[in-house]
Amino acid sequence: MGKKRKQYEGELPAAKKAETAPERPKRTLLGWKEKPENGQESTGFRNREKVLVTCSRRINYRFRHLMLNLVSVMPHCKKDNKVESKATKGATLNELVELKSCSSCLFFECRKHKDLYLWMSKCPNGPSVKFLVNAVHTMEELKLTGNHLKGSRPLLTFSSNFDKDPHWKLLKEMITQIFGTPKEHRKSKPYHDHVFVFSIVDDHIWFRNYQISCPHTETDKIDRGGLEKMTLIEVGPRFCLNPIKIFGGSFGGPTLYENPFYVSPNQIRSLEKKQKAGKYAKKVKAKTRRKMHEMTNPLETDEFADMWKE
């Protein structure tokens, strides 16, 4: 008979752990997202600001071009169809903002094909501001030499006047939230190559857009000390905002601030018409005075007037 196989009395070796590939990090639109060491995902704040840009019907072509210029320099905005400028436009716009998953709204309202009003609102709870837009110059009109990347994030700069009064502080915060492109937005590029300048002059907000230009070499690298030679080249557009009222709600609500120096364009046009009417009245009075003067001071008859008629 064959020999029995000896039984192994020692401990069996531990089973080898299954060798598997390490877990792949989650892929996002912005690249690979690695998990933190503690295993919990970061719950930090992420700016998800989106702005709805629309206008009223019967808008002028210059004002429409201004709106399109702003759309081109704001990659985080969404464009929508025209809205009828009625008393119920606030509810309509709030519904559109909710359908488009936006949090703010820029509404260009045109009156009489001459006057442009800009509504800047945080939806749906407010606040909102109504501006009169003056000194409009679009990119097509200016034809400036500045040029920056489409979709790049802007730097926002404000004059020191914004920190004086409470209503200017509120406007500064609203402009920062609406015009500032969120970080890592899917339509934006991770560059800062232009500046939005907001300055207060004569109680008006003046807007300018500048390209940041740095001297480059052939290898597309900035020269040593090149940042000191940095220059600003204007791109456009240009416009001026005259604040009229600040409301507590979205497109309405309690009035938080009212500009005491605001004069509506209708009053300005009526004053101009009165001045022109005054000129015509002066001419009529001058003619009547001349006739009265001729009647009171008639010319003496000339004795040689009929001498050659015979």
Question: What pLDDT is stored for residue 296 in this prediction?
Answer: 92
pLDDT at 182: 92
| Predicted TM-score (pTM) of this structure | 0.77
**Is a pLDDT exceeding 70 seen at residue 29?**
no
Q: Do the Cβ atoms of 107 and 90 come closer than 8 Å?
A: no
Domain locations in the chain as residue ranges: 51-267
**pLDDT single digits (tens) 229-260:** 789 999 989 999 999 999 999 999 999 999 99
Residue 298 pLDDT > 70: yes
Evaluate the CA torsion angle 179, 66, 86, 170 in order and state its sign: positive
List, for residues 159-190, the tens digit of each pLDDT value: 999 999 999 999 999 999 999 999 888 899 98
11 against 59, higher pLDDT = 59
* Confidence grade of residue 279 (pLDDT, cut at 50, 70, 90): confident
DSSP 225-292: TGGGG-EEEE---EEEEEEEEEEEETTEEEEEEE-TT---HHHHHHHHHHHHHHHHHHHHHHHHHHHH
* DSSP tag of 191: E
CB 208 within 8 A of CB 137: no
User: What is the predicted pLDDT for the residue at 26?
Assistant: 65
CATH code given to domain 51-267: 3.40.50.10480
Structure tokens at 248: 């507590």
Query: For the chain, what is the mean pLDDT?
Result: 86
What is the reported pLDDT for 37? 54
pLDDT of residue 229: 78
| pLDDT for 19 beyond 70 | no
